[in-house]
Amino acid sequence: MTRRLIESWLPIAELGEESSRERRSMTALPPTYYLHVWWARRPLVASRAAIMASILPEDADRKMFMQAMGVHGDPVTAKDAIEKARRTGIRCSIRKTSRRGRNGETTG
């Protein structure tokens, strides 16, 4: 039997950070776990990664695997950069982009 990807490689740190990001609410709506308690809730990213890595062969493309999991870039490095910015107080400027309204007029 051929070896599977999960036996040789699984990016635990990256998947853990994505799972944390997945649990945080990015909207003004209350989190779903306030509405109904689901006792066996699993982090979706980690669950998908474990299933997919157990199906793929060991020589599967790791970059494509991460993209399929929805992990783009390096979330651990991004988290470290955000924490450094919080400690030092350095904030990057956000460029204001123009948006087009329904009638094509520029707003903001």
Instruction: Give per-residue pLDDT as tens, 63-99.
Output: 999 999 888 888 888 888 888 888 888 765 444 455 5
Task: With respect to residue 95, please indicate whether it lies within any of the assigned structural domains.
Answer: no
Give residue 49's pLDDT.
94
Give residue 6's pLDDT.
95
Q: How many domains does the chain have?
A: 1
**pLDDT beyond 80 at 36:** no
The arithmetic mean of pLDDT across residues 5-22, rounded, is 90
Share of the chain above pLDDT 90, in %: 32
Give residue 85's pLDDT.
87
Task: With respect to residue 101, please indicate whether it lies within any of the assigned structural domains.
Answer: no
The pTM of this model reads 0.62
Mean pLDDT (the chain) is: 78
Full domain range(s) for residue 75: 5-90
For 2-34, b where at least 16 C-beta lie within 10 A, e where not — what string? eeebbeeebbeebbebbbeeeeeeeeeeeeeee
Task: With respect to residue 27, please indicate whether it lies within any of the assigned structural domains.
Answer: yes
Task: With respect to residue 103, please indicate whether it lies within any of the assigned structural domains.
Answer: no
Q: Is the pLDDT higher at 46 or at 26?
A: 46
**Spatial CA neighbour of 14 closest among 66, 53, 50, 84:** 66
Task: With respect to residue 100, please indicate whether it lies within any of the assigned structural domains.
Answer: no
Task: With respect to residue 98, please indicate whether it lies within any of the assigned structural domains.
Answer: no
Task: With respect to residue 74, please indicate whether it lies within any of the assigned structural domains.
Answer: yes
